[in-house]
Amino acid sequence: MIEINNLTFTYPTGTNALKELNLKINDGEKIGIIGQNGAGKTTLIKNLNGLLKPTKGSVIVNGVDTRNVQIADMSKTVGFVFQNPADQIFNPTIKGEIEFGLVQQGFKKNEIKHRTDSVLKNIKLYEKRNVHPSNLNYSERKLLTIASVLAMDPKIIIFDEPITGQDYKGKIAVEKIIHSLKDKTVIIISHDMEFIARMVDRIIVMCDGRIIADDSKIKIFQNNKALCTAFVEPPEALKISKKLGLKPCLTIEECIEEAKKVFK
């Protein structure tokens, strides 16, 4: 469980990126964070794994105050997939990239091998395991960075804009992986509302360093005031279902099902 109390964060440049946030995230929740560029989303999630420490207030992850631990220790509980794969791939082979975090945590050799092989098969890069990561295309690199976090099996996984810049196939692959994380707490930042609608249950809307709305996705997408303030458009499916006078739907599939029932 994550508990954020009165979290305020100010960068040394003086930018007040987070202002008195309060938030509680339960185990196993699937959460989306949306809001304009510069709203403070990345700053918020960097506070969740201790990369940034609160200027004021506190962040408690599974009972541990982030101010009292090293990030190296936090990495066992909180996995973090950064936005740009180029910044987080730094090993000479794909296999080595996956092993990195496990080696840092001092796992036994055969446990490392077992986990590495299993995640590599999962992202279909097992055959390429000995090549240099620069041979991968953008979506394969993204998958590799996700896999390297999954291998460490953290309870909480954070994705910063996981499908930004991905082609369709890459998007689907990322979706499939995130969907498979049933028993984990998943936090996703994204500007793609269709994606958010498919992946999460609860949405947090941020604007100018504050949380302006925090509710179930269906309520958030109907909260015009919050969406407007954050300059967000709800998913197309919601607009269509409303125009057709159906019950509000968030995905095209749901919308079709509803339409079939109503219009026969």
Partner 1 sequence: MPRTILISYIERDSLIHKLNPLTKLTALICVIILAFILGPVNNLILFALILPLSYISKLTWDVFKPIRYLLIIFAILFSIQGLFYPFRLTPLYTIPFTNIIIWKEGIIYAAEISARLLVMMVYGFLFVLTTHPGDLVNALRKLKMPYKVGYIVLSTLHVIPSIQMQVETIIDAQKSRGLDVSGNIIKRLRAYVPLLGPLFIGSVQQAVERTMALEARAFSADCEKTSFRQTVFRKRDRNIIIATVIISVTVGVLSWIY
Ligand X SMILES: Nc1ncnc2c1ncn2[C@@H]1O[C@H](COP(=O)(O)OP(=O)(O)O)[C@@H](O)[C@H]1O
Binds 43: which of partner 1, Mg ion, ligand X, none (CB < 5-8 Å by kind): ligand X
Q: In whole angstroms, what is the distance from residue 167 CA to residue 139 CA?
A: 7
Name which of 120 and 230 has its Cβ closer to partner 1: 120
* Region from 24-32, 72-80, 165-173, 184-192 binding partner 1, contact rule CB under 8 A: 72-80
Q: By CB under 8 A, tell whether 12 contacts partner 1.
A: yes
Q: In whole angstroms, what is the distance from residue 72 CA to residue 209 CA?
A: 27
Name the amino acid, one letter, at 62: N
Q: In whole angstroms, what is the distance from residue 227 CA to residue 34 CA?
A: 9
Binds 148: which of Mg ion, ligand X, partner 1, none (CB < 5-8 Å by kind): partner 1
Contact 225, 212 (CB under 8 A): no
Q: By CB under 5 A, tell whether 42 contacts Mg ion.
A: yes
Report how many residues bind partner 1 under the rule CB under 8 A: 32
Identify which of 115, 114, 170, 116 has the alpha carbon closest to the alpha carbon of residue 143.
170
Q: By CB under 8 A, tell whether 68 contacts partner 1.
A: no
Identify which of 82, 64, 180, 208 has the alpha carbon closest to the alpha carbon of residue 123.
180
Binds 49: which of ligand X, Mg ion, partner 1, none (CB < 5-8 Å by kind): partner 1
Torsion of CA 117, 123, 129, 133, to 10 degrees: -140
Q: In whole angstroms, what is the distance from residue 87 CA to residue 162 CA?
A: 14
Q: By CB under 8 A, tell whether 245 contacts partner 1.
A: no
Binds 224: which of Mg ion, ligand X, partner 1, none (CB < 5-8 Å by kind): none
Q: By CB under 8 A, tell whether 70 contacts partner 1.
A: yes
Residues that bind ligand X (CB under 6 A): 11, 13, 15, 17, 35, 37-43
Question: What length is written for the chain?
Answer: 264
Q: By CB under 5 A, tell whether 47 contacts Mg ion.
A: no
Q: How far is the CB of 235 from ligand X (least distance, A)?
A: 20
* Residue 182: burial class (beta carbons within 10 Å; 0-12, 13-18, 19+): exposed
Which of 51, 64, 212, 259 is in the footprint of partner 1 by CB under 8 A?
51
The count of C-alpha atoms lying within 13 angstroms of the C-alpha of 219, restricted to the half-sphere facing its C-beta, is 9
Binds 72: which of partner 1, ligand X, Mg ion, none (CB < 5-8 Å by kind): partner 1
Binding footprint of partner 1 on the chain (CB under 8 A):
11-12, 46, 49, 51-53, 70-72, 75-76, 78-80, 82, 84, 86-92, 100-101, 104-105, 134, 148-149, 152
